[in-house]
Amino acid sequence: MSFWKDKRVLVTGGAGFLGSFVVEKLRERGCKSIFVPRGKDYNLVDMEAVKRVYEDAKPEIIIHLAAKVGGIGANRENPGKFFYDNLMMGVQMMEVGRQVDIEKFVAIGTICAYPKFTPVPFKEENIWNGYPEETNAPYGLAKKMLLVQSQAYRQQYGFNSIFLLPVNLYGPRDNFDPESSHVIPALIKKCIDAMEETIPSITVWGTGKPTREFLYVEDVAEGILLATEKYNKSDPVNLGAGFEISIKDLVELITKLTGFKGDIIWDVTKLDGQPRRMLDTSRAEKEFGFKARTSFEEGLKKTIDWYLSSKKK
């Protein structure tokens, strides 16, 4: 608690899905000075806007969550934009932070930065052993450049920055837009829409064989703040739950929890994405005591409940 008492904290992306929980947890920890830049006021792809946000916020700590993100479809349609926007936001935010000598920069990477065929569970030292899965490689590589920058700036300037690698997130306030949502909100929406409109089946992309790991959004937010408080190295750190589930089993679990009893049609013309994803989470526990607390089924129930209540508003 005392760590945050008089700190001025800038949270890019603080109005977004993950960011809103990070901001809530900062307030719970007694942080009084939190600056959340909005996209309409500060386009962080533009260097002048980055300089202006630093002048306006006068931060001591940056938690850089802002990102251009989406599922496989959105990544395939916007590889150039996802690369450029994510690269420029991160690189410029860290560079100006170095120039004004902030106390700490917390960069949030992505599991998409790992090579396509990384041995499971993914260990941080394997991050450079191959090219990422093609459908989201531009996004993953843009975010991975923040790791290079973090390590280079610590080496040359003694700049205190850290790089965290969260696994796929889910939870209340997630993006349920079918054009850009990730797999869990997309499946929840499909099941609930089908029941409301008495549609007898839902269509799911791929074969159902790939595995994924998911981390509840409040757990991720807690991990980010623990790392900010206690971790001061540029070695990357995974944030995960330490389990994997096949997409087929995930579909069965979501249909059970939503009550959808119709048919599942697998569209095998659509890409599966990376074959397997699961993180080794031992470094986060060793370095700053982070361990996921929310069981997967409990987290899914909370997400479904939130979505149903949000539809009524």
User: In sequence order, what are the beta bridge partners of 104?
Assistant: 61
What is the DSSP annotation of 27-52? HHTT--EEE---TTT--TTSHHHHHH
Q: Which token pair is 155?
A: 């080496």
Residue 137: closest CA among 85, 80, 179, 180: 80
Give the integer Cα–Cα distance in Å for 259 and 72. 26
CA distances for 172 relative to 166, 252, 290, angstroms = 17, 20, 21
| Cis omega (within 30 of 0) for bond into 121 | yes
64 phi and psi angles, rounded to 5 deg: -95, 95
Which long-range contacts (C-beta less than 8 Å, at least 24 apart) are formed by 189-194? 189/307, 191/254, 191/255, 191/258, 191/259, 191/260, 192/258, 192/260, 192/304, 192/307, 192/308, 192/311, 194/260, 194/262
3-state secondary structure of 166: strand
Give the integer Cα–Cα distance in Å for 5 and 296. 33
Catalytic residue among 42, 54, 114, 139: 139
Active site residue 307: no
Kindly list the catalytic residues.
139
